[in-house]
Structure formats: C-alpha cells, structure tokens
Amino acid sequence: MTRIISLANQKGGVGKTTTTISLGAALAEIGQRVLLVDFDPQGALSVGVGVNSIELDQTIYNLILDRSTRFEDVVIKTNIMGVDLLPGNIDLSAAEVVLVSEVAREQALKRVLQPAREDYDYILIDCPPSLGLLTVNALTASDAVIIPLECEFFALRGMALLVDTIEKVRDRLNPELEIQGVVATMYDGRTLHAREVIARVKDAFGTRLFNATIPRTIRFAEAPVAGEPILSYAGDSRGAAAYRALAREVLGIVDDQESELAGSGRAVPDNELAEGRTADQSTEQSIDISTNTFSPPNGSAGASENAPTIDTEIYR
C-alpha cells in the first residue's frame, strides 16, 4: 500500500527539503519506489535532485489547476534510481491564490496524487514554510506527517500552531492523518546545548521523536549544489547513515542495538500530541507545546539524567 507523507514545519531552514530528498533516496536504496513532490514555490527540492524546474513548462502547478494536464505529462525521473519527481517552481505561489476560489480547494493535491498511488510505495511531499493552503493541501493528501525540527533553542516555538493545523485537517478533511514522528535535524552532539534541546524535544514528543538524529554537517549544504542527495554525494558520511537509519524507522524496521530502547516512529498509534505529552511527561516538564514556552533546564549538567524514561507501552 502506498504511503503518502508530508514533511511539514512552517519554519524555514529546518531541514524539510533536505529530509524529503535524503529520506526519499534512502527509502529507494532499500527497494521502495519513491515519488518526491516539490510543493514549495522556491523549488529547492527540484534543484536538489538536479532538475532545473524554472525552465519547465509543465509542473505540479499545471497538474493542480488544469484538468487537461495528466500526471504522466509532469512526472520526471531523477538521477536517483527508483526516485521520480513532480517538479515545482515559483508558479506555485500563484496556485495558492487561484485555489482560494476553487471548489474543494483543499483537495486539489489529493486528486492529483490519486493515480500515482499505483506506481509508488512512498510519496513524500516537501511543504512550503507556511501553514497556508498549499500545506493544507499536502496534509489533506497525506496519510502521515513527519516534522523536521532543528536542534536549536527555539525549536519548539510554533509547534503548537503546527500541531493545531494538523489536528484541524484531521478533524475536517482527512481523518486518517497521523503524525508519524518528529525528526531532530542539524544536531551537534559536541555542544551541551544541542543535547539539552534533544532532551527537551524528547520530553515534549516522547516516543514520537525518531531515534535517528540528523547531525549538522557541511555535507548537507554541498550536496544540493551538486544536485545529488547526500546518500550518493557523501555516501559514507554520518549524515547519510542518519537518513538510512531514519528510513528504516519509517519502514518499521527495528535495528538490533535499538530494539530494547525503541521501536519505529510508525509504531506509535494515532497521535494525540497533547495527550502524548501528558502521558510521557514527568512532573519536571519544562516544555509546554500548547503555550509555546521553553524553559531552559535548571543548572547546566544533567540534561540526560533528566530525560524521561521511555514509555515502552506504546511500542508494538
């Protein structure tokens, strides 16, 4: 069965596009048939897989707004084996405006992706950095959301709004939508600060935080310039390994050394973040995603001692 996943976070520069490309490439490496959907007017996903989308006549924009355009007219093969692309470019910013007056304006992408379900195992949608109609379309078309979260002090700011949007889409448009997990990106394990942020994110999201943590490395900035995913550009790097681990979690494969600790993000049943938070929280909670507050940990050491024990009950 095809699984459609949106990579969403209204903050820019948190690793949505990088995660879409790298996770897609990693899933393809394990034999999955993957379609990447560039749903950000900036077109960074297309560029990142070596497609100059500015020069294309037919993009996802045409597919969404012109019923005579067919999926086959727009989809292109990338130079990553097993990975196809629905390219996007700046035209998409107009789509957001035009869609407003359309009937079933939230369902446009869902309709377009319907025929693709037969041909792919995973469809990954790279969302724009906003919670507007494009992101709502992506969420409406998806079975699940993965939230990339940059490991920095204000990472959780805005999270309540994102979760709220996801819940509204689930209530009104797409009852199947689940939050598959949160992936911590740009992690620098040498700094205590980054470790503390991870501990806080773990407090807030519990088991919905993927075990795979994406390290901060310059390789990620270099790869898109080469129009290649990190998996081929720097296949032996820590960054590539991290995305391979993420792909395994997304597929529900539990690695040996992790099996005692954790399962996959997918193993989490329907996600009620608010409830999850209460359930996973000790009384020492320092993040409240509903109010967007973030209290730095008391004292400097001990972030890991304060990390909550993992609630194993909800693992399959």
Ligand X SMILES: Nc1ncnc2c1ncn2[C@@H]1O[C@H](COP(=O)(O)OP(=O)(O)O)[C@@H](O)[C@H]1O
CB of 127 vs ligand X, minimal distance in Å = 8
Q: How far apart are CA 137 and CA 109, in angstroms?
A: 6
- Give the per-residue contact string, 28-47, with ligand X (x = CB under 6 A; - = no): ----------------x---
By CB under 6 A, tell whether 186 contacts ligand X.
Answer: yes
List the one residue out of 189, 165, 162, 119 whose CA is nearest residue 16.
162
Query: Residue 163 corresponds to which tokens in the numbers above?
Result: 């979760």
One residue of 217, 264, 271, 306 binding ligand X per CB under 6 A: 217
Which backbone phi and psi does 176 adopt, to 5 degrees? -80, -10
By CB under 5 A, tell whether 16 contacts Mg ion.
Answer: yes
Which residues, numbered 286-315, are part of the site for ligand X (CB under 6 A)? Answer: none
- Look up residue 312 and give its DSSP letter: G
One residue of 10, 17, 62, 137 binding Mg ion per CB under 5 A: 17
Q: How far apart are CA 131 and CA 135, in angstroms?
A: 5
**Residue 99 — left, alpha, or beta (φ > 0 → left; ψ -120 to 50 → alpha)?**
alpha
CB of 186 vs ligand X, minimal distance in Å = 5
Which residues, numbered 218-247, are part of the site for ligand X (CB under 6 A)? Answer: 220-221, 224, 239
Residue with nearest beta carbon to Mg ion? 17
Which backbone phi and psi does 104 adopt, to 5 degrees? 55, 45
Which residues, numbered 37-66, are part of the site for Mg ion (CB under 5 A)? Answer: 44
Q: How far apart are CA 282 and CA 294, in angstroms?
A: 16
Q: Which residue has the tokens 């509903």?
A: 290
By CB under 6 A, tell whether 185 contacts ligand X.
Answer: yes
> Which range in 7-15, 108-116, 134-142, 273-281 contacts ligand X by CB under 6 A?
7-15
- Name the binder of 200 from Mg ion, ligand X, none, CB < 5-8 A by kind: none
> Which range in 8-16, 205-213, 270-278, 308-316 contacts ligand X by CB under 6 A?
8-16
Q: Which residue has the tokens 């040498």?
A: 190
By CB under 5 A, tell whether 20 contacts Mg ion.
Answer: no
60 Cβ partners below 8 Å, 6+ apart?
A: 37, 38, 39, 74, 86, 87, 88, 92, 112
> Which range in 6-14, 58-66, 191-199, 294-302 contacts ligand X by CB under 6 A?
6-14
Decide whether 113 or 151 has the Cβ nearer to ligand X.
151
Decide whether 60 or 254 has the Cβ nearer to ligand X.
60
CB of 113 vs ligand X, minimal distance in Å = 20
One residue of 4, 6, 10, 18 binding ligand X per CB under 6 A: 18
Which amino acid appears at position 261 of this protein?
L
CB of 95 vs ligand X, minimal distance in Å = 18
Query: Residue 217 corresponds to which tokens in the numbers above?
Result: 């490395």
Q: How far is CA 208 from CA 10, 253, 265, 282, in A?
A: 19, 15, 6, 16
Cβ(184)–Cβ(213) under 8 Å?
yes
Three-state secondary-structure class, residue 76: strand
Instruction: List contacts with Mg ion (CB under 5 A).
Output: 16-17, 44
Instruction: List contacts with ligand X (CB under 6 A).
Output: 12-18, 44, 129, 185-186, 214, 216-217, 220-221, 224, 239
